[in-house]
Each structure stands twice: as structure tokens, then as C-alpha cells.
Homo-oligomer: A and B are copies of this chain.
Amino acid sequence: MRLAELSTETGVSVATLKYYLREGLLHAGRAMSRTQAEYDETHVDRVRLVRALSEVGGLSLATIEQVLEVITEPGTDRLHVLEVAQRTLARASRTVGSDEGASVRRVRAWIEQHGWEIDPQDPFIDDLARAWEACDHAALGLDEERMDRYADHVEGIAEVDVSTVPADPEAAVRHVVLGTLLVDPVLVALRRLAQQHVSRGLQGAAARGTGTATDDADGMVSS
């Protein structure tokens, strides 16, 4: 297909596609003449991936370039797949300077007490410390005990993540990096929907408890 067709197929403007080509986010098409090139399904896939990482994952184009580099780099050692993937993800999330203050020490102490085996230099320890501190400042009452409860459920999510990683190393890095970045928004949306479901359940139970009739099918989604 021509560039205009690639644009129609992906919903991305020709100007943006040309920008992707210049920046190396999109591989060149097969040259047909001095001014025309032919694009195929690999181009459609790549454009969709760049859009997903940018719009759903919220990554900058510079970060997307780094992510693409890692996931297309051949010959990654199977054992280091997660390491490479996490390094890329850490680079993608690093926006504020890290510190080794009390909040980081609290996270390390909590991880040890919780019994997770984590590299002490893991960059996500900083992320967790910063996020936890923000919850403290908002007085959300997020203590070690509640963190334990969250962590147990998140461990279940990570087990699903890890069990679905393909055996092929190259496919695995791609899967871990993209799966981590692109499944985050899925989990965020699921959490809001689950909050609604859980809180409706509680309201229903409360109404039944006081003898009030309640129609449980009331808010059900019908397709």
C-alpha cells in the first residue's frame, strides 16, 4: 500500500507518518520510484504500536524509540529477558530525581518484612517510595498492613503476567515490555469498574440487611 493508504488504515495523518519515518520510529517502505514507496502489514502493526505506547501508555516519542530498540534487538538471553525489559521500563518511568531518604528505607523494610525477593537496586523501589509518600501527604491511611493486602493481590496479577510470557527470548522481551506498559491501563480501568461492582454489592447487602427489597439485576450490563 501507499503512504496515503497506510494513513487511512491506521488513522494517523500522512504528516505524522512522515515524521515517524524521519525519526526512525517507522521502518522505510520498499522503494518503488524516487518519490514512492510501498508499505505492508508490518508498517500497519508498527504504527499501531507507536500510537498505543504514546496514547494509552503515555510515553514520549523519545522513550518509545528506546522501547522499540529493545524489543527489536535480537539475541537477548532468556534469563535476562525480565532484566532488560525492566531496565527499559524503568527508563520510561524515570521522570523525577530519586533520593535515598526515609521513604525509600521504609519501602525496603516493608519488602523484607513482606518476603518479596527484589534486587535492592531495583529502580521501582524509588517509584513505590514516591507513590507511597504521595498517599501519606494526602492522608489516605495507606499503612504497611494495607500495603500487604494490595501486594498479595498484585502478586496474583504478576503471576498471570509471568505465566503468559512466551518462551522465545526475543518475543519474551517484547511481551514483557509491551505487556507491562499496555496492560497497566487495562488494570487501571478494571480497578474503577471493580470498585463500582464491589460497592454495589455492599449497598445491596446493606439494603437486604434492613429488609428493603432490592433488585440485584438493576444495574447489570446487557450487551
- Asked if A180 and B158 make an inter-chain contact with CB atoms under 8 angstroms apart, the answer reads no
Cβ contacts under 8 Å, A125 to chain B: 193, 221
**Interface presence of A134 (CB below 8 A):** yes
Q: Which residues of A (194-223) have their CB < 8 Å from a CB of B?
A: 194-203, 216, 218-223
**Interface presence of A185 (CB below 8 A):** yes
**Interface presence of A151 (CB below 8 A):** yes
Cβ contacts under 8 Å, A49 to chain B: 137-138
- Asked if A140 and B198 make an inter-chain contact with CB atoms under 8 angstroms apart, the answer reads no
Bound-state Cα–Cα, A200 to B117, Å? 7
Determine how close the nearest CB of chain B comes to the CB of A53; give it in whole angstroms: 8
Given A52-B134, A117-B216, 9 more pairs with CB closer than 8 A: A45-B139, A118-B196, A124-B193, A130-B185, A140-B179, A150-B157, A151-B190, A162-B198, A184-B191
Residues of A within 8 A of B (CB): 45, 48-49, 51-52, 55-58, 79, 82, 86, 89, 95-96, 105, 108-109, 111-112, 116-120, 122, 124-125, 127-128, 130-132, 134-135, 137-142, 146-147, 149-162, 164, 175-176, 178-180, 182-203, 216, 218-223
